[in-house]
Amino acid sequence: MRWKFHIPLGLAIAFIVVAPAIFGSFTITLMNYIGIYAFAVLGLVLLTGVGGLTSFGQAAFVGIGAYATAWYTAVQGGSPWIGLLLALLLTSLVATVLGAATLRLGGHFLPLSTIAWGIAIFFLFGNIDAIGRYSGLSGIPAITVGPISLSGNVAMYCFIWGLLGIVMLLCRNLLDSRKGRAIRSLRGGIAMVESLAIDSFRMRLAVFVFAGMLAGLAGWLYAHMQRYVNPAPFDIRPSIELLLMALVGGAGHIAGAVVGAAVITLLKNTLQDVLPLFTRYSAQLEVVVFGVLFVVILQKARAGIVPMINRYLPRPPLALPAQVPPLARRARPIVSGQPVLTIHGTTKRFGALAAVNDVSFEVKAGEVLGLIGPNGAGKSTLLNLITGTAKADAGRIMFLDHDLTKLAPHHIAANGVARTFQHVKLRPNMTLLDNALLGTYSRTRSGFLAGAIRLDRNEEKSAQFEALQQLKRVGLGEKAAELAGNLPLGQQRLLEVARALAADPVVVILDEPAAGLRSLEKQILSQLLRTLRNEGMTIVLVEHDMEFVMNLVDRIVVMDFGSKLAEGIPADIRAEPRVQEAYLGGVA
Amino acid sequence: MTWEIALLLAQDGISTGAIYVLVALGIVLIFLVTRVIFVPFGDVVGYAALTVAALQLRQMPGTVWLVLTLAAIATVMEAYGLARRGQMHRVPKALLLYAVLPTIPAVLVWLAAGRDLPIWLGIALTLAIVMPISPLLYRIAFRPLADASVLVLLIIAVAVHFAMSGLALLYFGPEGFRSEPITGALFELGPITISGQSILIVASSVVFSFLLFLFFERTLAGKALRATAVNRVGARLVGILPSTTGATAFLLASALAGICGILIGPVTTLYYDSGFLIGLKAFVGAIIGGLVSYPAAAAGAIFVGLLESYAAFWYSALKEVFVFSALIPILIWQSFTSAGGIEEEIEEEEREGEA
């Protein structure tokens, strides 16, 4: 009975459809504004709630869109539809430049610079003669669709809410696709994102530009509904109000955009009626109220309204994928015993400390290589160098015939090197299936557009099937629909292994996979790694559980104080006096 | 442009820049210790300047009501928190810190307002009443979320700024104020005349930057602040309370903001919302310094002052556009010169309260 999960949505749509028949002109105008804000807020939902970035300049993007079409239609006498293209083009251009400048830096540089440039653009609007300086531009024509002019209140209402419905549907589809999953994974550190072959910088840029375009679309609608633009609605204060809408509604949810826009617009409307009774500076007191409201919401209810409501609604069960054509496997042109990874004279210094000092060894195709050593020996740093998370100061790291030394982590991952992390990196608010699906990113191709209009369904089903298979392999198949954050630590490690396997890697690098696992889970993992080796996968393993290592691996490299101490088969390593000394502090 | 004008603009830019230096130092200080990007800093500067002006005009500065309101909210929050944790024995100390201490300067200013005050007394009272503002804001708005991400703290800071600037309009009205210069001296230096006020600004900037340096280098409290900045968890392990260092940082910053407001009051006409722009420009300076280094932030702030001064000469209306747009090439440059390693990134996991 899937229909009952759609009752709230159905009611909302029914309300919007019948609204023009019930409400008067004032309310419809108010709802038009809510709809227009919802476009801009939707951009912030994707940016802030989903992507983990924030912009204090969203209203400035709305302004760019509004002014672009206002100038083109009112001053140049052009068509609003060309004005729309211009609005989208200009907002995406500005967003690209700003994003390219700030998205490589730390997380707070983007919001900070958006404050600065949001103000700059307000002054710019107010000082350009061609767009009417502070008095703005009037005489903007209404939008026409074929023979119908959207100059009327209700006509505009239908257009705005119809368009909003379509855009929200596209966004929902997008978030449920390959690229959308990548966007959802951006929040919470990029080391994991990059290790999945996702170019985190480009993904952030894409979200930022997309959010800007949604704002541009809002600006276009705004200009043609108001038929007049001036700089004031695009200052920094309206930007903050848009952000407040996103947070109130529920920054992680598409529906939050509409809910937030409606709540704040109605609240603002009420305040404008009530506050003048108390003070002649009602506009300023409104700002104070919003400021305080903001702080209270962030302190007490950071998730917003939509998640609060969602808690009381039934959740549709996860439809697990049936038997479908599998994803294509990676080409693996490797003879057993041929070197897959070659670490050659690699050195990494942190200040005066050489964490990895002139280390060389080879990893051969189809073997399980154990990398052991006391704490602080440089094992994890070496793994970070191989996977590109850290850059070596000297030496070369080759993977087949690719030089990995200078490559970005997502390129290395795309080449077929998958990894897990010593400190588990998952997305606790995503399901196990989604977490595992992230691993298939490098094996799938669907882009943003394909995701938004659902051309990706066949590939998506295959990817889901693959992810589920890997979950089953590590013993988590039953829990596929649960949130990853609810797993105990040991199973979170296994989930990381499943995610790595979903990438169908040539080499899989496991950083302490058995830590925190119970005895039975260790046996399952050990058995799984043996199966993988038999299938021709190459495995590099850092592990402290010596029993686990000695029973599993083909060869061992021992590190101590950043240098390679010994290399050989487990029996030899066990007998090696220098290794005993490193571990036990001298036997003799 | 003749070189006389160029010199004039340079001295103007340097004295504005010197103000931005103090603001930028305060911003970097708060950011490093508490990870809060304290956007309302400029508002505190504005409150200080308007308080001086109001006292000189023998009016009651609204700062009194602001401080009393903040103190009341903070006291209630603190007392409620302590009561809920059953730590009633700590309530008297909390009352002293959050109710009594901020009320003293408020009462003093309330008593002094409307009288003819010597200039130094007005300044001293202003400094005294501005001091509690930032620590109280910290207690009310930021400390409950001390472990949230930089982003959430930044959003809160922006919200606090809006509340502060709205209140400033309520308290001071929309008129502009300019306070009396602290010194009316003029110095002839070749072809240009330098006002004593400018020299005072630059000298104060140098002196207070140096005092800040001494504080960090020579005092235990300063070292505790530095330790918190380097590693919050580590600092906690050796017994440094992040909430204490946070309050100290905000107190210091409040003092810096008060000094800035007192210095800038006589130089330009200030409105209830002027502080925000001052703060933002100092921000641009601090960002040029990467938000991590005090000397770099100071150099950045001077640069912003000069840029603003020259931009105002050429395109007065667009000077803000120039200053804020300068940020973009600077950020591009920084993003290509920064180390770019992702391993040192602080992973900020935000667990939402949803089921």
Res B346: pLDDT: 41
Q: Which residues of chain B does A111 touch, with a Cβ-Cβ cutoff of 8 Å?
A: 151, 154-155
How far A191 CA lies from chain B's nearest CA (Å)? 6
Tens of pLDDT, residue by residue over A62-71, are 999 999 999 9
Q: Give the H/E segment covering residue A361.
A: strand A353-364
pLDDT band, residue A322 (cuts 50/70/90): confident
pLDDT greater than 80 at residue A334: no
Write the DSSP assignment of A473-512 as a string of letters.
HTT-GGGTTSBGGGS-HHHHHHHHHHHHHHT--SEEEEES
* Mean pLDDT for chain A overall: 89
d(CA B143, CA B247): 9
Nearest chain A Cα distance for residue B143, angstroms:
10
Q: Does the global pTM surpass 0.90?
A: no
Q: What distance in Å separates the CA atoms of residue B319 and residue B313, rounded to the nearest whole number?
A: 9
Residue B234 at interface with chain A, using a CB cutoff of 8 Å: no
B337 touches chain A (CB under 8 A): no
For residue A560, pLDDT beyond 60: yes
Interatomic CA distance for residues A291 and A298, integer angstroms: 11
Tell which residue, A116, A67, A68, has the closest CA to residue A236.
A116
Check A112 against B287: CB less than 8 A apart.
yes
Reading the block at residue A451, the tokens are 């995701």
| Tens-place pLDDT, residues A349-381 | 988 888 999 999 999 988 999 999 888 888 989
What pLDDT score does A586 carry? 57
pLDDT value at residue A107: 61
A188/B348 CB distance under 8 A:
yes
Asked whether the predicted pLDDT for residue A478 surpasses 80, the reply is yes
Q: CB of B350 within 8 Å of any CB in chain A?
A: yes
pLDDT exceeds 80 at position A556: yes
Name the minimum distance, in Å, from the CA of B74 to any CA of chain A.
14
Give the range among A43-52, A136-145, A237-246, A320-329 with minimum mean pLDDT: A320-329
Q: Looking at this predicted complex, what is its ipTM?
A: 0.81
pLDDT value for B46: 93
Reduced to 3 states, what is the DSSP secondary structure of residue A403?
A: strand
Rg (CA), chain B: 21
- Residue A538: burial class (beta carbons within 10 Å; 0-12, 13-18, 19+): buried
Burial of A401 (0-12, 13-18, 19+ CB in 10 A): exposed
Both tokens of B3, joined, read: 């070189």
Do B322 and B308 form a contact (C-beta atoms < 8 A)? yes
pLDDT tens for B224-247 read: 888 887 777 788 888 888 788 888
Q: Which residues of B touch A429 (CB under 8 A)?
A: 351-352, 354
Report the amino acid identity of residue B182. I
pLDDT at residue number A244: 87
Q: Give residue limits of the domains in chain B.
A: 3-55+148-337
Alpha-carbon gap: A306 to the closest alpha carbon of chain B (Å) = 10
> A543-547: long-range contacts at Cβ-Cβ below 8 A with a sequence spacing of 24 or more?
A543/A370, A543/A372, A543/A510, A543/A512, A543/A513, A543/A514, A543/A515, A544/A372, A544/A512, A544/A515, A545/A514, A545/A515, A546/A372
For residue A369, report the phi and psi dihedrals to the nearest 5 degrees. -105, 125
First CA to last CA distance, chain B: 66
Cα separation values, A501 from A297, A474, A505, A509, Å = 41, 10, 6, 10
Please state the three-class secondary structure of A316-339 as a single string: CCCCCCCCCCCCCCCCCCCCCCCE
Provide the edge-to-edge strand list for the sheet that holds A402-403. Answer: A353-364, A339-350, A394-399, A402-403
> Looking at chain B, which residue has its C-alpha nearest residue A307?
B354
Q: What is the CATH number of domain A339-584?
A: 3.40.50.300
Check pLDDT > 90 for residue A555: yes
Q: What's the pLDDT at A336?
A: 73
Q: State the average pLDDT over residues A141-165.
A: 92
> How is chain A split into domains, by residue range?
20-234, 339-584
- Token pair 């119809």 is found at A162
User: Which pLDDT score is estimated for B344?
Assistant: 38
B270: left (phi over 0), alpha (psi -120 to 50) or beta: beta
A144-161: string of b/e by CB count within 10 Å (b at 16+)?
A: eeeeeebeebebbbbbbb
Length of chain B: 355
* Chain B hits for A126, Cβ within 8 Å: 317
**Percent of chain A predicted with pLDDT > 70:** 98
Q: In terms of Cα–Cα distance, which of A365, A355, A372 is closest to A334? A: A365
Query: Is A559 in contact with A359 (CB distance < 8 Å)?
Result: yes
Measuring CA to CA, which residue among B303, B301, B294, B128 is closest to residue B214?
B294
pLDDT in tens, A171-193: 999 999 999 999 999 887 888 99
CA distances from A290 to A297, B152, B156, B162, B276 (A): 10, 16, 11, 8, 17
Spatial CA neighbour of A543 closest among A568, A505, A566, A516: A516
Segments of chain B with pLDDT less than 50: 340-355
> Cα(A149)–Cα(A145) distance, rounded to whole angstroms?
6
Cβ–Cβ contact B149 with A under 8 A: yes
Q: Any CB–CB contact under 8 A between B354 and chain A?
A: yes
Count CB neighbours of A393 within 10 A. 14
At B60, give phi and psi (nearest 5°): -85, 115
- Contact, A508 vs A539, CB < 8 A? yes
Closest CA to B334 of B280, B285, B288: B288
Residue A39 near residue A207, CB atoms below 8 Å:
no
Task: Find the helix or strand (DSSP H, E) in which A556 lies.
Answer: strand A555-560
The reported pLDDT for the residue numbered B352 is: 35
pLDDT at B321: 84
Q: Measured between alpha carbons, how far is B30 from A116 in angstroms, rounded to an integer?
A: 19
**Rg (alpha carbons) of chain A, rounded to whole number:** 28
A510-548: pLDDT as tens digits: 999 988 888 888 888 899 899 988 888 899 999 988 889
